[in-house]
Amino acid sequence: MGESIADRITVEARSWVGVRYRHRGRSRRRGVDCIGLVLCVIEAVGLEGPPERMFSKEDYEKPYDRLKEYFDIKTRSSAMPGDLLVFQYGDFGTHFGIATNVRGRLGFVHVDNNLGRVVENALDGSWLNRFARCYSFREKSE
C-alpha cells in the first residue's frame, strides 16, 4: 500500500527545511515565502492547488472563504500532520504552514522570516495563540 497524501505532504514539506526565505520566492534554489512553500509542496506531490494570484493583497478579500474552494476545512482540534495551517496576525496578516509531528506533538513546517529560512517548530506558545484555521489537502480530481 502506498503512502497517504498526508504522509507525502509531510515528507515533502520537511525536505524544504533549510531553504532560505525569499519574498514571493517559489523555488528551492532562489528561496520561498510561506505561500511559496505551500504551493511548491502542492505541486511536488501532484495535488491541485489554488492559483498564486489568490494570495496577492489585491485579490485577498475574505481569504478563508477562498481557501474553502481548494481545501477542506477542519476544526483546529482535529489538525494532524499533512494539514494546511493558517495563522492570523491582526486584521489582514496571515501566515501558512504545513502540520507535522514534532516529538509526539503537533508541529509545523513554515518559513521563519526572522531566521531567514524554512524551519520546523512545535505548535505551541505564540504560534498556538495565532493558529486560526486548519484545512486538509484535496486529491486531484480526474
The per-residue pLDDT for range 83-110, each reduced to its tens digit, is 999 998 776 668 999 999 999 999 999 9
- Helical ranges in 1-142 per DSSP H: 5-14, 34-44, 63-67, 125-130
- Please indicate, yes or no, if residue 94 is contained in any of the structural domains: yes
Q: What is residue 63's predicted lDDT score, i.e. its pLDDT?
A: 64
Number of domains in the chain: 1
The C-alpha cell at 49 is 492547488
Q: What is residue 45's predicted lDDT score, i.e. its pLDDT?
A: 95
d(Cα 18, Cα 31) in Å, to the nearest integer?
10
Q: What is residue 62's predicted lDDT score, i.e. its pLDDT?
A: 59
pTM of the shown model: 0.91
The stretches in the chain having pLDDT less than 50 are none
Q: Report the C-alpha dihedral over residues 12, 44, 88, 65, rounded to 10 degrees.
A: -140
CATH code for the domain in which residue 44 is found: 3.90.1720.10
- Please indicate, yes or no, if residue 59 is contained in any of the structural domains: yes
Cβ within 8 Å of residue 40, ≥6 positions away: 16, 26, 27, 28, 32
- Please indicate, yes or no, if residue 142 is contained in any of the structural domains: no
Query: What is the radius of gyration, based on Cα positions, of the chain?
Result: 14
- Please indicate, yes or no, if residue 87 is contained in any of the structural domains: yes
- Please indicate, yes or no, if residue 126 is contained in any of the structural domains: yes
- Please indicate, yes or no, if residue 14 is contained in any of the structural domains: yes
- Containing domain of residue 119, as a range? 5-137
d(Cα 25, Cα 135) in Å, to the nearest integer?
23
Report whether 70 contacts 48 (CB < 8 A): yes
The C-alpha cell at 44 is 511536488
